[in-house]
Amino acid sequence: MATILGVPASPFVRKAMLAHLVKQVPFEIKMVPPGSDDETFRQASPMGKIPGYQTDKGTLFSDSSVIIAYLEKVHTDTPLYPSDPEQYAQAIWLEEYADTKMSEATNALYFQRVVGPAFFEHTTDQERVTQVINELIPPVLDFLEGKLTSGNYFIGDSLSVADVAIASNLMSLTRAQYTIDDNKWPKVCAFYNHFLSLDAAKQQLATEDKIFSR
């Protein structure tokens, strides 16, 4: 069985886990924090970032985007990448946006309110929280609102890697007690509510709940 090396509460580990759950590919988690000296983890992730990955054949590498791209090659029956070239480009572009600009905003709040206090004895900086909520998050949600046309999915009429990457970040906002304003961003709210209704999302949140309740 494949192994994801990391902590399920990390947004990038969450993204890799969600892709497995959506594709119904079994995996196990080896709990490894970022920067760990674990030998297998270091071979998989020389930069010390989570998630690292070990395939069921033993190949080691890291990065959530690489893990999902690999998964797609092995498990072709539940595609997360559109076959149409234009939609394919849009999907991996939105994944890139979610992993960079969006996660810069969502991770800032998630760190202040959740990860810092829970794992690093960090006190929440309220000024930073206010700045993130007022300045960083709204432009991201505005951008996503403008990208949603069909309702439940960012690209076409089926779930793609873009949805998984974006929803992973939205889940961080939820954990950080941030509620998306339905009046300002109705399409993002509808997308997220649909995503949360998927079995994969429910399974992911249940796994994370166990970690946060420890």
Ligand X SMILES: N[C@@H](CCC(=O)N[C@@H](CS)C(=O)NCC(=O)O)C(=O)O
- Min dist CB 51 to ligand X, Å, is 6
Cβ count within 10 A of residue 201: 20
Q: With binding defined as CB under 6 A, does residue 65 bind ligand X?
A: yes
Query: Does residue 11 touch ligand X according to CB under 6 A?
Result: yes
Nearer to ligand X, 54 or 64 (CB): 64
To the nearest 10°, report the CA torsion of 103, 109, 114, 117. 120
Pick from 2, 3, 4, 10 the residue near ligand X by CB under 6 A.
10
Q: Is 95 in the site for ligand X (CB under 6 A)?
A: no
Which lies closer to ligand X via its Cβ, residue 21 or residue 50? 50
User: Binders of ligand X: how many residues, by CB under 6 A?
Assistant: 13
Strand, helix or coil for residue 180: coil
Q: Which is nearer to ligand X, 68 or 137 (CB)?
A: 68
For 120, counting Cβ atoms within 10 Å of its Cβ (0-12 exposed, 13-18 middle, 19+ buried), the class is exposed
Strand partners for 3: 28, 54
In 21-143, where do the E strands start and end? 27-31, 52-54, 60-62
Q: How far is the CB of 161 from ligand X (least distance, A)?
A: 11
d(CA 209, CA 214): 9
- Which range, of 60-68, 79-87, 124-132, 190-198, touches ligand X by CB under 6 A? 60-68
Task: Give the residue, chosen from 99, 132, 170, 208, that forms a contact with ligand X under the rule CB under 6 A.
Answer: 99
Residues 16-55 that bind ligand X (CB under 6 A): 34-35, 48-51
**Residue 116 lies near ligand X (rule: CB under 6 A):** no
State the nearest-atom distance from the C-beta of 176 to ligand X, in Å.
Answer: 14
Give the torsion sign (CA, 156, 159, 164, 166). positive
**Torsion 21-27-30-35 (CA) sign:** negative
Which of 14, 187 has the CB closer to ligand X? 14
Nearer residue to ligand X within complex by CB, 10 or 112: 10
- CB-count burial class (<10 Å; 0-12, 13-18, 19+) for 175: buried
Residues in touch with ligand X (CB under 6 A): 10-12, 34-35, 48-51, 63-65, 99
